[in-house]
Structure 1
Amino acid sequence: MKLASLKQGRDGSLVVVSRDLRRACSAEGVAPTLQAALDHWDECERPLRALYQQLNRNGHQHAFDFHPEACAAPLPRAYQWADGSAYVSHIELVRKARGAEMPPNFWSDPLMYQGMSDGFLGPRDDIALADEAWGIDFEGEVAVITADVPMGTGERHTLPYVRLLMLVNDVSLRNLIPAELAKGFGFFQSKPATSCSPVAVTPDELGHHWHQGRVQHRLQVSLNGTLFGAPHAGTDMTFGFDRLIAHACLSRRLGAGTIIGSGTVSNRDETTGACCIAERRTREIISTGSASTPFMRFGDRVRLEMLDDDGHSIFGAIDQQLVRYRGPAA
């Protein structure tokens, strides 16, 4: 099943989307928003699936053409957004470039930060930021949306709580990160609004490509129309979503609608490219002693998409332009 939120109010209007992402129908009769559906999933899942089946048979009389540019994020605002760093070889690579040792426990204990969840960007929304000097970077990731997860749930029991999966672009301001982390209190200013794919899908849509808490497809990232990378999301993922969810709920319950990200998808095989500029710059530093790829500039466009084995888009594409933010006077 594929679900999306059309732009309407703060929380969007829930629609069911056909498997081929061409048609949609309102789910207002079942739940007004995705959050409402997640809050009452046991009651909402069956009628939502019935709408989905009708759509895929071209049998829904009120169906309309689906346009990703009309979409907000599947959850325009969420109760919680926790981003992991499941591809530990990526962390190892970045630390190597700056001559830092990798703490051994990074391979056994996931890294995770709690990010901005009160305003996700839609898949076609501009990325509006004030200063190129901040070192603006994209990060292609996979994310899950959970049901209510009891505190202390072990990793062997967490995957049944995964309700939906989607793609995210976790924008990072690389030149703000070092000073912020040096304070010893984590990310804040260096992590602005995150962007989400047009649709979120239930795990069964992935079939056997959803395996051991990992999505077994490549994530394609393009910058200004040129392929930047296509690493395989299931390869070199040290911690699956089973472990990431268990890490997040160790000392707290997770409310329905909690979003947990994988961190930047990354493969040890450098021929697959990268899902963020920082990784390419890191490889350049290791290879030549200096980075030559610049961070994003105003006017740049980034696109993230995951295709199935037949070349069809699974989640729809995140396709965004970086623009200068002209907000209130400082």
Structure 2
Amino acid sequence: MKLASLKEGGRDGTLIVVSRDLQRAVRAADIAPTLQAALDDWSNAAPRLNALSDALNAGTAAGAFALDVDKLAAPLPRAYEFVDGSAYLPHVERVRRARGAEVPKSFYTDPLMYQATSAGFLGPHDDVVVPSEDYGIDLEAEVIVVTDDVPMAVTPEQASAHIQLVGLVNDVSLRGLIPGELAKGFGFLQSKPRSALSPVLVTPDELGEAWQGDKLHLPMRTWLNGAWFGAAECGVDMQFSFAELVAHVAKTRPLTAGTLVGSGTIANEDTSLGASCLAEQRTVETLRDGKPSTPFLKYGDTLRIEITDQAGASIFGAIEQRIAPLAR
């Protein structure tokens, strides 16, 4: 099934079930008012939401209406926790090689992750508002999963069963602020503003054979200002599966239902597939030409992030955003 949230009913939105073709939807308030409420009671809510999804796709759901993506909030407008990884080591390897550094051996056995911003997520068509272009505005096209309640110290095999939803995120980064923050040795803060989620989140069964080994095996398609930017393969070169990432986060703490876990920027050894963030493209250019030629995003620039199935149908809907200045 596919789930989304309307921009109504308060800051957590109103839960809706969306048809497989992303054309129709139906409110699910009699099952759960919000997606977070559904995740809090997932074992009871999920079967009822699935039944409503079946009725919607069969054309028999009462109260169905045409879906307008512009009226969607993020499926989870805010979440208790968002933990992001860097599971695609070709990206890490290239970035470090460009500055003459080696990748620590531990990166190949111990996931690199950080605590991200979860107090609010942008809707799929909301502007990315940044106070200054000088901050080095970048997109990061990633896959995310959403868990139910995860016990502390689960194994990856156990963690797999707690992955309930899959979606996309534009994990916005401000590259000009990152070096100074990391130099302090305490991680990201100002360099990581709010991210945007895909129009819908889907249950893994919606992905069919594309969901194997707790990884999504489809290309991440990105466009900048209407021009193709990349189609990096999500299932290739991912060092750690989502089950391994969830288990890593839960090593010393339980996870609350509604926790988001990100894959990190999709990147492949094969650079001909393009990139999923500007920093990756600029690193490739630096290694090839001695300096980057692709600029970071400016006000008025647009981006599009989407994954389609083998037949070309959009699975999660598209994240389509514009870079905008802060109104003062």
TM-score (structure 1 length as normaliser): 0.98
- Paired with 1:119 and 1:318, the residues of 2 have a C-alpha distance of 16
- Paired with 1:31 and 1:293, the residues of 2 have a C-alpha distance of 45
Which position in structure 1 is the counterpart of 2:125?
124
Which position in structure 1 is the counterpart of 2:137?
136
Which position in structure 1 is the counterpart of 2:5?
5
- Paired with 2:244 and 2:43, the residues of 1 have a C-alpha distance of 25
The AA in structure 2 aligned to 1:299 is G
Matched, 1:39 2:31: no
Which position in structure 2 is the counterpart of 1:67?
68
Which position in structure 1 is the counterpart of 2:303?
302
Which position in structure 2 is the counterpart of 1:191?
192
Which position in structure 1 is the counterpart of 2:201?
200
Let me know the Cα RMSD of the aligned residues.
0.6
Alignment of 1:1-330 (within 5 A): 1-8=1-8, 9-327=10-328
- Paired with 1:68 and 1:118, the residues of 2 have a C-alpha distance of 22
Runs of 4+ in 1 over 4 A off after TM superposition: none
- Paired with 2:212 and 2:71, the residues of 1 have a C-alpha distance of 32
Give 1:223 deviation, angstroms. Answer: 0.2
1:49-83 superposed Cα distances (whole Å, 9 cap, x missing partner):
11101111111131000111111111000000000
1:165-193 superposed Cα distances (whole Å, 9 cap, x missing partner):
00000000001000100000000100000
**DSSP-derived class of the 1:158 partner:** helix
**DSSP-derived class of the 1:296 partner:** coil
Give 1:100 deviation, angstroms. Answer: 1.2
**DSSP-derived class of the 1:231 partner:** strand
- Paired with 2:279 and 2:43, the residues of 1 have a C-alpha distance of 42
1:184-223 superposed Cα distances (whole Å, 9 cap, x missing partner):
0000100000100000000000011111110011110000
1:239-283 superposed Cα distances (whole Å, 9 cap, x missing partner):
010110011000110000000000001111011000000000000
Q: Which moved more, 1:40-49 or 1:24-33?
A: 40-49
**DSSP-derived class of the 2:73 partner:** coil
- Paired with 1:168 and 1:137, the residues of 2 have a C-alpha distance of 13
- Paired with 1:220 and 1:4, the residues of 2 have a C-alpha distance of 21
Give 1:119 deviation, angstroms. Answer: 0.7
1:56-113 superposed Cα distances (whole Å, 9 cap, x missing partner):
1111131000111111111000000000010011101111111111111111110111
Q: Which moved more, 1:54-63 or 1:259-268?
A: 54-63
**DSSP-derived class of the 1:51 partner:** helix
- Paired with 2:307 and 2:69, the residues of 1 have a C-alpha distance of 15
**DSSP-derived class of the 1:227 partner:** strand
- Paired with 1:100 and 1:19, the residues of 2 have a C-alpha distance of 46
The AA in structure 2 aligned to 1:27 is A
- Paired with 2:235 and 2:161, the residues of 1 have a C-alpha distance of 19
- Paired with 1:134 and 1:42, the residues of 2 have a C-alpha distance of 44
- Paired with 1:43 and 1:237, the residues of 2 have a C-alpha distance of 33
**DSSP-derived class of the 1:90 partner:** helix
1:140-185 superposed Cα distances (whole Å, 9 cap, x missing partner):
0000000100000011211110010000000000010001000000
- Paired with 2:220 and 2:59, the residues of 1 have a C-alpha distance of 29
Q: Which runs of 5+ in 1 are unaligned?
A: none
1:276-315 superposed Cα distances (whole Å, 9 cap, x missing partner):
0000000000001000000000000010000001100000
Q: Which moved more, 1:278-287 or 1:100-109?
A: 100-109
The AA in structure 1 aligned to 2:5 is S
- Paired with 1:288 and 1:89, the residues of 2 have a C-alpha distance of 19
